Structure 1
Amino acid sequence: MDSNMRQITLHTLVLALVSFFTTSCASDVFPKAKNVSWSSVNFKSMLTWSPKPTNYSYTVEFSELSQDRERTPYCIRTMDTECDLTAVLKNLKAYYSADVLSEPMRGVSSDLVEFPHVSSGKFSPYHDTDIGRPEFKIEVSSDKRMTKLHVTDVPTALFDDQKKRLNIRDVFGDELQYKVIYRKAKSTGKKEMLSKKSIIEMPDLDRGVGYCFNVQAYLPSRAANKQFGELSSVHCSTEENTTVFEEYGTGVITGVIVFILSAIIVIVLVIVMCCRRRRRAENEGKEGLALNGL
């Protein structure tokens, strides 16, 4: 082997060793983040990871899939292990990914060109955020014929251009439905129904009977494991002892009374007519006997 080849081989070996030790040192000084994951409830979207840094920091970069990466100023060389990306994920229906870079602490320089980093999985606020439990009130009409559930659409962490907080109805529109699970207060048998409205009418319940209800958001266009929101607390209507007039209504009761009176009148008339015929028959019989005696 000539001297040129020896020099090239030696140079290549030196570069390999420098690269190896540089990478090893970088890994030792700036450990890679672990357990990078998204968490989101009512559109408050957080990126979390571990471990807690000691002599280094973390920087978060994010982007829509296949787009250029961005940084949020609150998550550059931070000592935290979470980053709130709610306000910067503008396109709610898009899918995003993020990188967590291990970097020097603020004010500390480094000769590294590329810092150790770990990528997250993909995430879409619209399709992946968890929906919290709704609140609702029960309204029973005065005649006990109609029960309504007034559901409060869950507020989100999002705001419009006028700084007004948005609720899930503002975001999902007509796609949002509610699933109602209900049963009689003294029964364990459950029934279910779906409603596209936030004021849910339930006209087919037994009057005067107490019912218990649960409500949860339902988004049929989502993946199966993301379609239902958190189940609400149980709320029950009051069981009441209804009077006959409350149960059947004044009109029905009046009709029944009129029918009964009419039937009584008809029966009396029939009895009177039968009695008259009998008396007439008896009188005719007596007259016939008298004539035969003559």
Structure 2
Amino acid sequence: MVTMRLRTTLLAVCFLCARSVSGSYPQAQNVTWKSTNFKTLLTWEPKPSAEYSYTVEFSTISGNKQRTSHCIRSSATVCDLTSYLTDLKACYTADVLSEPLPGITSDDIEAPHSSSPRFCPYKDTDIGKPDFKLEVSEDKKNTTLYVTDPLTALFNDGHQLTIRDIFSSQLEYKVTYRKNRSTGKKVYNSKTSTIELTNLDRGESYCFNVQAYIPSRNPDKQLGELSLTKCSENDKPFFEGFSVGSIAAAIFFILLMIGLIIAVTVVCCRRVKKAQRRGKQVPLQDA
């Protein structure tokens, strides 16, 4: 008898815990891929309420759907799929399903879902800005840029891969440079990470920017993020950057200012001396 009552009580508790919700949950909105250097996130909106969660399913265009444990019935609105998109040259799609939380049932036969656009890592991931070092030759005729290939979020046998490891010979670098005091720009493309520029004016200071360039991609994805600007030192004498007329005018102006200062000083000294003489010539008044 006691056993029967206990079973009945447990069934009642389980029935109360398994709440039922009628109606559909909101679909995810703005499902978007965000990827830089093969660090790939799927994002969406809005933040779910306390009654439902999100589950992500993803696959190649013709493959079977997969799930990852950290993106099942989650309250987050982002899913990191970096390590799951292993075939970089394949194209993927993903679905974000609106599902009840554990312990809650729904009348929906199929969970409401929203699909992502197609994403192809090799063609679509953005490339971050590279770093580089400048070196000017001793004879001041050549400037060499040593570019550090940006690291990716991918690893192979414990080794973190660079974009050069992945794109190989398809990776080039676009160098944009100008004279330090000029707005006119020139462009040079290099297929290597060591870039030697030989057509620069000797001793002139130049400023450089570098960005990854992958010609095989669609035009809107060919260029990576622009690097920080770095400038070489100016080895020319200060006056060499000015014309003869400018230098002559500057010298004339300096001499003129010196002459004016001397003249004003002389006039002031004379006035002071005259005032002193007049003060001595004034007779004393009787008290």
Could you say which TM-score interval applies, normalised by the shorter chain? 0.7 to 0.9
CA contact (8 A) 2:176 2:188 kept: yes
Out of 187, 196, 200, the position equivalent to 2:191 is: 196
Q: Please identify which structure carries the higher helix content.
A: 1
Q: Is the 8 A contact 2:22 2:107 kept in 1?
A: no
Aligned pair partner of 2:109 in 110, 113, 121:
113
5+ unaligned residues in a row in structure 2: which ranges? 1-20, 238-287
Q: Distance in 2 between matches of 1:200 and 1:96?
A: 36
Matches within 5 A, 1:135-214: 135-160=131-156, 162-214=157-209
How far 1:163 moved relative to its partner? 1.5
Q: How many Å apart are 1:26 and its aligned residue?
A: 3.2
Aligned residue runs from structure 1 range 1-294, under 5 A: 25-27=22-24, 30-54=25-49, 55-110=51-106, 112-160=108-156, 162-241=157-236
CA RMSD of aligned residues (A): 1.4
Provide the rounded CA distance (Å) in 2 between the counterparts of 1:145 and 1:104: 69
SS of match in other structure, 1:215: strand
**For the Cα contact (< 8 Å) 1:33–1:50, is it kept in 2?**
yes
Aligned partner of residue 175 in structure 2, secondary structure: strand
Instruction: Choose 1 or 2 for highest CA Rg.
Output: 1
- How far apart are residue 31 of structure 1 and its match? 1.1
Instruction: Indicate if the aligned counterparts of 2:33 and 2:43 stay in contact, CA closer than 8 A.
Output: yes
**Structure 1 moving runs of 4+ over 4 Å:** none
TM-score, scaled to structure 1: 0.71
Q: Deviations over 1:112-169 (max 9, x none)?
A: 4311111111001110001111111100111212210011101111111x22111110
Shift of 1:235: 0.4
Instruction: Specify every segment of 5 or more residues in structure 1 that has no aligned partner in the other structure, as ranges.
Output: 1-23, 243-294
Distance 1:186 1:85 in 2: 46
State the one-letter code of the partner of 1:220.
Answer: P
Instruction: Give, in angstroms, the shift of residue 111 of structure 1.
Output: 5.3
> How far 1:175 sits from its partner (Å)?
0.2
What percent identity do the matched residue pairs reach?
A: 58
Kindly provide the CA deviation profile for residues 67-93 of structure 1, in whole angstroms up to 9, marking residues without a partner as x.
110001110000000100000000001
Count of residues paired in the alignment: 216
Counterpart CA distance in 2 for 1:26 and 1:111 is: 7
Question: What TM-score comes out, normalization by structure 2 length?
Answer: 0.73
Contact 2:31/2:42 (8 A) holds in 1:
yes
Equivalents in 1 of 2:177, 2:190: separation in Å? 13
